[in-house]
Amino acid sequence: MAIKIDGKAIAAAVRQEVRAEAEELTRQGMTPGLAVIVVGDDPASRVYVNNKKKACAEAGIRSEEFALPADTTQEQLLAVVEELNAREDIHGILCQLPLPKHLDDKAVIAAISPKKDVDAFHAANVGQILIGDYTFLPCTPAGVMELLHRTDIAVEGKQCVVIGRSNIVGKPMAMLLLHENATVTICHSRTKNLEEICRQADVLVAAVGRAGFVTPDMVKPGAVVVDVGINRGADGKLCGDVDPAVDEVAGYLTPVPGGVGPMTIAMLLKNTITAARSLMK
């Protein structure tokens, strides 16, 4: 049986640290402020936004929600971003994705000030991550690294495989592992001999978005398996990209729910504190 990496407990520890930092900043006259923009009434987005607002309140971060109707124009959305860029009491800005189809999410991300881009999606921040000189990290990959660090799992010199090449998770995940001296392979839908490559991994990160995609025969005995996926199974329950039977093969495993998920919001809070501190200078 694999050792479970408890994302809930680690996220709770990060949140406590964030709260202490937020209280210190508030004592210095700066209450960290996060603006969340949500367009339309997508149910999943509403759940995420509510969770972020609750987490901010618990951490001592002031949050403001900008809920815009589904028929908001590109110009109206960009005007909101520009207003928030100019506000000194807002230190972090995020726009909840996905946006309605008539809106250009790339243009919105590009409009957010890199100094307030707490999702780390702006091209300037992505470039900084690539060269290893960054202020912010994307929340989910940063959460994965925090899980590994706080479980005393070092990746230096190890074979790490990332399944998935998204700009939000796969690509930055590979860069963060590389920065800590891992040997990294990125796999995707066109990869040949996927199972063979995965079996070589000391650390396997699954971020493909397909329930139960990683099966026991793809996992090296004793490997660290990080399940980034959040899917709905046939029974309607949350499940990851990793087949539960991998538990019998892996050395460490992040559960779904309760693994990487709680870390994403925790790292968003941490990024907001980082933004506030950097804007104080």
Q: State the distance between the two ends of the chain, measured CA to CA, in whole angstroms.
A: 49
Q: Is the dihedral of CA 175, 248, 245, 257 positive or negative?
A: negative
Percent helix, strand, coil in the chain, to 5, is 45, 15, 40
Q: Annotated catalytic residue: which of 117, 119, 227, 243?
A: 119
Q: Where are the alpha helices (DSSP H) in the chain?
A: 7-27, 43-59, 74-86, 105-111, 123-131, 139-150, 170-179, 194-198, 261-280
Active site residue 119: yes
| Count of all residues that appear for the chain in the document | 281
Residue 217 bridge partners (DSSP): none
How many other C-beta atoms lie within 10 A of the C-beta of residue 240?
31
In three-state secondary structure terms, 218 is helix
Q: Annotated catalytic residue: which of 52, 171, 220, 270?
A: 52
Interior angle at CA 222, CA 220 and CA 225, nearest 5: 75
Given a contact cutoff of 8 angstroms between Cβ atoms, the answer to whether 251 and 224 are in contact is: yes
Active site residue 96: yes
How would DSSP label each residue in 155-187? -TT-EEEEE---TTTHHHHHHHHHHTT-EEEEE
How many other C-beta atoms lie within 10 A of the C-beta of residue 73?
11
Catalytic positions, please?
A: 52, 96, 119
